[in-house]
Structure 1
Amino acid sequence: MLLGLRLVLAYGFFNPAIMKLKDISSIAEWFESINIPLPVLNAYLATGTELLGAILLTLGLLNRWISIPLIITMIVAIVTVHWGNGFDAGDNGLEIPLYYILMLLTLLSFGAGKCSLDQFLKLNRIKN
């Protein structure tokens, strides 16, 4: 179950991160237009967090740690972009980022699960 949750989240973060990476200057301009401070820095931070998050979630590595900045990224997205559009995902509302936050909170609470690099490394430490 946790593997499925991780893979869904990784997929959900990967494509937006790649889209941002391809045109980071436009993202920075958009961030500036919606009054996000230090738009260039925050464009790189959001993109880097989403890309690193997708990789770590896929591997099941450091999922508790990466969940925190991903949750913060989703909260910022809700406050700056989605809140005014209501709840429905079809209206660019806060539905999807809210679901992501709930899934990330699950990983923060339970870890990456049995099918993860974290678990593999933990078992190897116990054996040694």
Structure 2
Amino acid sequence: MPAAHHITLTAEEDRTLYELSLADGVARRIKRRAITLRLNARGWTTPQIAQHLHQCEHTVRQTLHRWRDGGLGGLWEAPGRGGKPKWQTADIDAVETWLQEPRSYTSVQLCRQLATERAVVLSGKQLGWILQKRATSGSA
């Protein structure tokens, strides 16, 4: 049987975790981690927390280790996770320049030109998403 994991929170830490669990714009997994910590500090066991939050016990233990090793900052994912963009802002600027020319392009033609001139390989759908995101964010 694994050793019991129990943390102790100060009043300030508890308040911070409470506010974090209710905050808008915070990822759901971060909110769950905050709730996990508060429940554990109130004496809930790992299996009780896992059952209550519909998580694996391993996930609960991992959250407790994150807190122990990294404090509040440990609740977020480490940088460097996930896929990296295969394009730079200058590449999309070049595509936008091509789109201002008097001729029209299909997404396949734009992707082919991007691959030929800038050695960046994107699908037409991916290029469309990037251009749409830039247009809605006001970058274009």
Instruction: Give the structure-2-normalised TM-score.
Output: 0.29
Greater radius of gyration (CA): 2
Which structure has more RCO (C-alpha within 8 Å, separation ≥ 6)? 1
Q: Which has a greater percent of helix? A: 1
